Every structure is written in structure tokens, then in C-alpha cells.
Chains A and B, each alone.
Chain A
Amino acid sequence: MLVTGVTRYIGSALAGLLADQPGVDRVIGVDAALPEPAERSRMGAAEFVRADIRNPLIARVLVAAAIDTVVHASASASPVTAAARSMAKEMNVLGTMQLLAACQQSMAVQRLLVRSTAAVYGDSARDPAVADEGLQTSSLPFGGAARDAVDIEGYVRSFARRRPDVRVAVPRFAQIVGPTVRNPLTNHFSLSPFVPVLAGRDARLQLIHEADVVAVLRRLVLGDFAGTVNVAGSGMLTVTQAVHRAGRLPLPIPRSALDIAGRLSALSPLGAFSPAAVRLLAEGRVLDTRKLHTEVGFTPVFSTPEAFDDFARTLRPFLDPDAVRSAERRLGGLLGLRPPLAADGPSGATVVDRADRAVRGGGSPANQAGGNAAAGTATAKTSTARTGTARTATGRNVAGGAERPRLVGIDGSAGGRPKVRRRSGSPPGPAGGRPR
């Protein structure tokens, strides 16, 4: 097997995982750069070959190692600076073309996996709110990584036509987050205390956890699915909601002032932000993941909010949810609300909490216990806990270590669970959460 892009988290983790797989005798990770020690250790038993996929040399690697499975995990990275942008186009599009050419040459290749992105759907207001794989968008994405991804998918389709004997799978991933992965999105949310967002817009953000990305790629390599499939954690967050969940404050900037604000921000003590990342964030789309559940037989362990919270754990919050809660109580006390509000103890049966629970449609009382909950994420985790109860199988993975999430045992986590979550995006509580 051959895995590209092993200097990134996804590629290296996947290579390591596949190398441990019984029945897989050899995994070669390739990249144009040398992997860092962390990536090298993630690669485990996989070998590393330094090769640039834009170079025809890659064809010789394929033949020499008698590669039967090619996983192109590095396609469509989303760079943000202009210089990196042209470089990335080179890598993304031309690299993929070279790799496909090499695959077409080598008759040993049986399986091909090319990682794509949900950005191919664009984010036009004229398109349906939820994109399924067959969606014909009203306009093609103009420029940028999204355009690259559209081009790449086109090349992959023509490859599939020329080599019908090869099983080709193209997963379209939502934006990837996680404690380890570094991309424009995670960098952007690391800004503190203000996270610039586009004024007057509040895109719907759907995410997929890095561990789920690796797990679904593994499932696609070892399974027999062929075709295009959307991959995203269930549910969604709006951009401002995500900013708040990360314990930060959104800073709305008009689109026209974005570039100048970006340049000015480099001088400010708050740190530079990337206007392109703001634009990237403003592209909202939600994916229909029914095909992932039914045809691939995979259910991501992390929902979108859970994936985001798992990433946000690694950030230092500017606004701690516990601090907000105690400020609320203090303010309530000042305004003459009954003093027991503040010191009602673990029952949590205060006016505030009751109103709170009513609105959420009778959510979990466990996390309402009060300010002494651990680790400062009690409030943010409330919804996590609630969805978690319905899916107890996920518990062990969510609880996985702080420094590196354990990779998901697919057979245990996805295959064993009944696939009942037809409405992937529906909130777990009663939909209209108004108090009655």
C-alpha cells in the first residue's frame, strides 16, 4: 500500500494504522518533505520513501513495491497565503495527475482512494441547505482549494473510466478539526480573545474529527465501497457558536475591510489573522451523510460539536464557561433574584437552571450541578454528554487521552451499532425546544 502526505497528521496516522493491519504486508508512506519525529512515530511500522508525487519517479516506486492500494491523503490541502496557494495548486492538481498517471500504468494497482473536500459543493445561497453526493451545484467554486478539488475529482473520474478494474473511492470531508491537526481553521480558532468573522454572515459549520478521518479512510481502504461519499460528524455549529464554544469572542469584520484589517492585525498585539481563513470559515455547508452510514457502514464517533469541543480543549479559553456561569449568578444576586440561586448546592434546582433546562427540553441534569465541575468544560460538554448517552459505544473514544486521541476501532464502533441515525443533523432533544 502507498500513502501520500505522511508529513501531515492524517497521512501519517493512516499509514501507521494500515501497517498494523493483519493481511497488509507493506505500507509505504511518501512525501516530498521529511516527516517530523511525531509523524514518524505515528507511522509506526510503515516505511517512508521521500518522493515528490509530481515527479515521474513515483511510477517506479509503485512498480518496484508492487503497490496494490494507493491512498492519496494529501490532496487538496487548503493553504491560506497567496504564495502557498500557487504552490498548493501545483501539489494538489499536478501531483494528483502524476499520481493517477502512475496508477494507470501499473496494472498491480487495485484500489485508489483520493481524499477530497466538501468545498466542492461551494456555498451558494441558491443551493439546498444540505448537500448530498449527487447535488448539482448552481455554480462551480471559483478559484482556491475548492476549485482544485473539483479539478482533482474530475481527473479521478476519468481515471476510473480508463481503469474500470480499479476500485476508486473519493471521500469528501467536512472541515477537519482535532487536538493534533493543524490547518487554517484550527489556527484561526486559536486566536484569542477575538476571532475575526465575516460581519453579517453566520455560516453553518460542519466538522469531522481527525480520528474519524483516519478511521473512515481505513474503512474505505479495507472495505469494498466504490464511489463518492460525504464524511462529516453529525450536527453542526454556526461559526459564532463555535467561537463562543472555544471561549472566545467573535469580531465581525465587513468583507470589504477584510484585507486591510488583516494587514493591520499584524501590527496589533492581538496577533495577525488571515483574511483567507475568515473567508474559508464563512463558507457554510452541511452534508448529507446517509450514504456514509448505509453504504460505507461507518458512523463518525464524534459529532460536529463533540469534534469541535475536543479540539477546543487544547485551547486556553478566554471566557471560561464556569466563570460565565458564576458571573451570571453574581449578577442574578445583584438584581435581587433569590439568594439561594448562588448556593443551591449540587441539586442545581435553581430558577436559572430550571429555566435553562426547560429551554433545552429537559436536558441532562448531571452537568447542571454547578460551578465545581471539573476542567472548566462542564457547560460546553453538556450537549456532548447528552448525545453521548444515546451512543454509549462512543464513550471510550471520547475519553481517549488528552495528547493523542485513540484511533477508532471501526469494527467495534461503527459496525456493531445499529444504523438508526437517519436524520444526521437533528438535535437530540425535542426539536422545538420551547417551554410548554
Chain B
Amino acid sequence: MTDPESGPGELPPQPDSPVSEAGWQRSLAGGLAFLRRRLTGDYQVDEFGYDADFTEHVLLPPLRLLYERWFRVTALTVENVPSTGGALLVANHSGTIAVDALMTALAVADHHPAHRMLRMLGADLLFDTPVLGPLARRGGNTLACQEDAERLLNSGEVVSVFPEGFKGVGKPFSQRYRLQRFGRGGFVSAAVRAGVPIVPCAIVGAEEIYPMIGNIKPLARALGWPYFPVTPTFPLLGPLGAIPLPSKWLIEFGEPIPTDDLPAGAAEDPMVVFNLADRVRETIQQSLYRLLLRRGHPFLG
């Protein structure tokens, strides 16, 4: 998938080298301007703490490297995410730590024609953690709760949610690509109430990055974590265990499921909500099986 060598040294001499120099200058100047904006506090932050300037210049570049070089992500039918207006993206969750959420966000930010920024909903544990909490808010994430979800959807944002939660990320490797329970269907009622479409999204590849072969429960309890992962490299190799395995990723965005054609008060009807949640879950599960076949070898792709 990737170019074997695309460093500047291998390229044939460019006829218009001033252009590349200007590009280099522009990024340097952009970096300086960014530093100046940081130093003078001259940037915009929305009410959830989303800082577009910071996200674009600090958070996304390293993730982009991971996305393109390490996981070699292929984003499929990304145009199923609406270009305008609110939408709820529902995806499977896996991989011990939530790298899949970040890669999905990058897939939409870089490869969607409208370059939309996903607003992810996360667990309270994340926002309670020093350093990570503020960072998550700067990246546009907010607490997974009805109020925040509806507020974002109503203001026309694309919100992504992982209804499996910790059950999904923290499941043992043997359970890979098997969807866990979908919570209480709160995400469906939020989408129905806001009248926005639900985009089912299947992520293949995240399961193999940190294959979780064990869970030290007493340690997890002591640390207040939902689980304490044991992978082939962690905690055995210490910090080196934090390097994810370079699996091949496929992210598929399914056909949007409209919710605005439902009768009024549907969000209050548990049967409608459960049925819709089930339908979304089934769709994602089927896509997962299909994508797994398509991918073939987990690491070579």
C-alpha cells in the first residue's frame, strides 16, 4: 500500500524546486504563526473545549503518520458520511486503547470531501484524567451523555460514538470482531431526537494492535481502570509494549440510516429504539465479517 521509499532523497530532481522550497517555507512560517497564536492566546475554542487550531497542528500530524505509514488505513465509502448537517457515526470499539476512534476521525477529516471533524463521545474516566482529559477536550471530544450528544447533533456536527464502550476495547483477543452489547441504546434516542441519520461504521484492524491475552483485575481495581491489559509485549517489555503492532486497517462507512422519517415521539418508544440499535449492530457485525474476508492476512493485508 505504502510507497516503499518516498523520502526527498529518492525523488528525481524536481524541475520546479522553488515550489517545494516555498512549501517548506510555508510550513515553517505556519509553525511560527501557530506558536505566536499559542503564546498570545489568539485562537477559538468552542463550548465543549474543541480547539481546531491545536487539533490541526498538534494532534493530527502524529496520528496521520500512524494512519498512513503504520496501520496503512484504507477508508471505504467515506462519502456515506453526510457533507453537511448532523449525523451520528456508530462504530465498533476495540484495541485495548481507543486508537480506533482517532483513526476513524482522521479518516473523515482527511479523506471525506468535506473534511469534517468528528466529535467523539468518550467515557468520564477520560475526562477525569489529568493531561489526557484537557487534551481530549481540545481534540473535540466530550462526555458520552445524552445532553452533550444532542447538543452537538443539533448544532450540525458529526458525532461518533462507540456504544460497546470499555466492554469493546477491553475484550480479550479471542473475542475479536465479535460485537459486545450495545449499552442501553442511548445513542439511538439521541439521534432520533435530533432527527439525524445514523452512519454505521465497521473498523477492521484495531483488534490486532494490542492483542489482549490477559487482564490483571486486582491491579485494574487498584488503579481505578476498567481493566489492566496483558498483551504479548505489555507489561513484559515495559514502555516498548506501548508500540502497537502494525496491523492492516480497513474502515468502512455504511449507508446512513435515516431517523427523521420516524413518527414523533419515537425516541420515547423503547421498542423503536431497541430495534434501531439492533439494526445498526447487525449492519456493523455483517460489515466486519465481510471486511475481514477482504483483508486477508491481519498484518500484510
Contact = CB atoms under 8 A, between A and B. Distances in A.
B163 to A, nearest CB: 18
Contact of A426 (B39, B43, B47): B47
Contact of B117 (A246, A324, A341, A434): A434
Interface string B131-149: 1011001100011010110
Given A432-B115, A434-B115, A324 B40 contact: yes
Interface string A379-390: 110110000000
Residue of B35, B38, B47 ringed by the most chain A CB atoms within 10 A: B47
B47 A425 contact: yes
Contacts of B34: 359
Interface in A360-397: 360, 379-380, 382-383
Interface stretch (B25-33, B176-184, B237-245, B255-263): B25-33
B128 A356 contact: no
A240 B26 CA distance: 27
A332 B52 CA distance: 24
Nearest to B134: A202
A54 interface: no
Contacts of B48: 129-130, 286, 425
Interface string A320-350: 0100110010011001111001000000001
Contacts of A247: 40
Interface in B5-57: 25-26, 28-30, 32-53, 56-57
B42 A383 contact: yes
Interface in B153-187: 155, 157
Given A425-B46, A433-B56, A328 B143 contact: no
A379 B42 contact: yes
Given A130-B47, A324-B36, 9 more contacts: A125-B128, A127-B145, A130-B147, A201-B134, A236-B46, A236-B49, A351-B29, A426-B47, A434-B56
A84 to B, nearest CB: 29
A336 B117 CA distance: 34
Interface residues of A, number: 63
Contacts of A246: 41
A125 B29 contact: no
Interface in A108-141: 125-130, 132, 135
Contacts of A428: 44
A205 to B, nearest CB: 10
A431 B46 contact: yes
A213 B146 CA distance: 31
A352 B29 contact: yes
7 contacts: A129-B48, A244-B39, A332-B32, A355-B29, A360-B44, A434-B109, A434-B115
Nearest to A240: B41
Q: Across chains A and B, which 8 residue pairs bring their CB atoms closest together, nearest first?
A: A425-B47, A200-B130, A244-B41, A245-B41, A128-B147, A202-B134, A427-B44, A355-B30
B151 interface: yes
B158 to A, nearest CB: 10
Given A129-B143, A356-B37, A425-B46, A432 B32 contact: no
A206 B131 CA distance: 20
Contacts of A204: 45, 47, 49, 137
Given A201-B134, A325-B36, A431 B117 contact: yes
Interface in A219-252: 235-238, 240-247
A236 B45 contact: yes
B29 A244 contact: no
B38 to A, nearest CB: 7
Contact of B39 (A129, A199, A202, A319): A319
B47 A424 contact: yes
A359 B60 CA distance: 14
Nearest to B52: A433
A426 B48 CA distance: 9
Contact of A432 (B47, B116, B130, B145): B116
Interface of B: 25-26, 28-30, 32-53, 56-57, 109, 115-117, 124, 127-128, 130-131, 133-134, 137-138, 142-143, 145, 147-148, 151, 155, 157
A162 interface: no
A178 B32 CA distance: 32
Contact of B143 (A128, A336, A382): A128
Interface of A: 125-130, 132, 135, 199-202, 204, 235-238, 240-247, 286, 319, 321, 324-325, 328, 331-332, 335-338, 341, 350-353, 355-356, 359-360, 379-380, 382-383, 423-429, 431-436
Contacts of A324: 36, 39-40
B112 to A, nearest CB: 11
Given A201-B133, A338-B25, A434-B56, A328 B36 contact: yes
A427 B29 contact: no
Contacts of B33: 328, 352-353, 355-356, 359
A231 to B, nearest CB: 15
Contact of B131 (A200, A321, A380, A382): A200
A132 B128 CA distance: 21
A137 to B, nearest CB: 12
B17 to A, nearest CB: 15
A129 B148 contact: yes
A380 B41 CA distance: 7
A13 B119 CA distance: 43
B269 to A, nearest CB: 23
Nearest to B60: A434
B28 to A, nearest CB: 6
Contacts of B147: 128, 130, 132, 135
